[in-house]
Structure 1
């Protein structure tokens, strides 16, 4: 049976979405091609009609997820400090901590991106720099934008490493409080 070009694109998108969720929840390197395809109801052999390699899939996931993070975090256009503060509150929340598949790709995939190939790392750099520039424009300081971006990601990574929700909440709340002090 022959499928339409639209069907192939839909299948590719389902694979990207499913694989991104698995990667952000479990780590990309821990999941094999067969498991990625099984999650969308297809055999492992069908994978290669969509991607030449697992590395190519990872690059596509990183691009897709970082673009979505950029949109959510305000990297498309200027916004005011009030909007940035609402964004920071959502970012440093228990909901974001508990749902990595639905959240920012940077803390979820950052370690794997750092071990990735030059193309994936360059692509990540380009997108993160766009976010930085948007925040720098809002904050009036490139240094402050890098500092806050790093603090947000770091707080989320550390909080996800821990088991106790009380300590996780303390980390997120403390980080948010300190960032707000920097914004004054």
Structure 2
């Protein structure tokens, strides 16, 4: 049975969305093609009509997720929006629900172990986010420092099991970023 082009696009989008949620929740390498397809109600064999390989799917997930992160976290709308985004980013909700948040803390280690093309793609989107923040903060180095601190704080908070410790990590990071934002720019 042949499916329409729109059906194929819809299925591809479902697969991307489902796989991204799964990857951010449990890691990309933990689920095979059959499991990814089963999650959207299809057989494993149908996978290859959408992606040439599991690596190709991962590349699409990285591109999609980091593009969406730029749309959500881009600071081009001003410093107030930037500071609101930081507060949401460094929240317990973000710690507890990696599947709905930024892909960088959830998939960063897997991206680092990926082939150079995926790493290059990730670099492109990370640099765009950093450049957006640098324009608002008027500091290239401050934008890199805050970006790194946010991602690191989320990774550390997720590694901890005690909610009070997780909150302390987030609060400390948010306070330190506040000091950095209030201090002189270099």
Residue in 2 aligned with 1:170? 168
- Matched residue of 2:37: which SS? helix
2-side partners of 1:166 and 1:22: how far apart?
27
User: How far does the alpha carbon of each residue in 1:96-141 deviate from its partner, in whole angstroms, 9 at most, with x for none?
Assistant: 1111111000001000000001110000000000001010000010
**Alignment gaps of 5+ in structure 2:** none
Residue deviations 1:55-109 (CA, integer Å, cap 9, x gap): 000000000000001111016xx22221111000000000111111110000010
TM-score, length-scaled by structure 1: 0.97
Give the whole-Å Cα distance in 1 for the aligned partners of 2:165 and 2:150: 16
Aligned equivalents of 1:155 and 1:138: distance in 2?
Answer: 22
Q: Distance in 2 between matches of 1:34 and 1:162?
A: 32
1:121-166 C-alpha deviation (Å, 9 max, x unpaired): 0000000000010100000100000000000000000000010011
**In 1: Cα distance, 2:80 partner to 2:69 partner:** 19
Pairing of 1:1-184 with structure 2 (within 5 A): 1-74=1-74, 78-184=76-182
Structure 1 segments (4+ residues) deviating >6 Å: none
Task: Give the aligned length.
Answer: 182
Structure 1 unaligned residues grouped into runs of 5+ = none
The alignment yields a C-alpha RMSD, in angstroms, of 0.7
Matched position secondary structure for 1:2:
coil
What is the rounded CA distance, in whole Å, between the counterparts of 1:66 and 1:146 in structure 2?
Answer: 16
Taking the aligned partners of 2:80 and 2:118, their CA distance within structure 1 comes to 33
CA distance in 2, matches of 1:83, 1:3: 43
Deviates more, 1:66-75 or 1:169-178: 66-75
TM superposition score normalised by structure 2: 0.96
2: CA distance between counterparts of 1:127 and 1:2? Answer: 36
